[in-house]
């Protein structure tokens, strides 16, 4: 962005005027903000909806309730059956996914325990 500002000031000293010098700062700012989002934004954008999400596991169903910033309040509920695919994503905070990798209890502290409970529920149903 500093380079863009230097180019604009150089154009101003040499008598270059018109539309082009006025477009350099907004054009440079767009790249600056895109770079900031690439480094930090996706982390914050992913964390905010998870802070507004509540998970519930019963003996027959799973519930994921989210107060999403742009979509409003959402409730996803699924029956647990013997054919449901349940996977565990291991990391600092584990995730237990079901119905493929689309829905699940994401980045929770007791993900391994939830995964075991869901497997036990499946076993008891069959």
pLDDT digits (tens, 9 = 90+) for 54-94: 999 999 999 999 998 788 899 988 888 888 888 888 888 88
Name the burial class of residue 28, with classes exposed (0-12), middle (13-18) and buried (19+) by CB atoms within 10 angstroms of its CB.
middle
If pLDDT is split at 50, 70 and 90, which confidence band does 41 have?
A: confident
Distance of CA 105 to the CA centre of its chain: 13
Nearest Cα residue to 114 out of 73, 43, 76, 63: 63
Does pTM top 0.85 for this prediction? no
3-state helix, strand, coil in the chain (%, to 5): 45, 30, 25
- Give per-residue pLDDT as tens, 12-39: 555 556 666 677 777 778 888 888 888 8
Q: Are 115 and 55 in contact (CB under 8 A)?
A: no
Give the pLDDT confidence score for residue 2 in this predicted structure. Answer: 62
């Amino acid at each position: 962005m500093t380079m863009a500002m230097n180019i604009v000031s150089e154009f101003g000293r040499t008598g270059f005027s018109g539309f082009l010098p006025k477009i350099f700062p907004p054009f440079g700012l767009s790249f600056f903000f895109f770079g900031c989002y690439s480094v930090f934004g996706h982390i914050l954008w992913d964390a905010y909806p998870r802070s507004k999400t509540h998970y519930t596991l019963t003996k027959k169903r799973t519930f994921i309730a989210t107060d999403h910033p742009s979509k409003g309040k959402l409730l996803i509920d699924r029956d647990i059956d013997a054919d449901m695919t349940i996977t565990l994503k291991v990391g600092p905070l584990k995730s237990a996914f079901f119905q493929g990798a689309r829905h699940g209890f994401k980045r929770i502290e007791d993900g391994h325990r939830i995964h075991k409970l869901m497997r036990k529920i499946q076993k008891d149903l069959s």
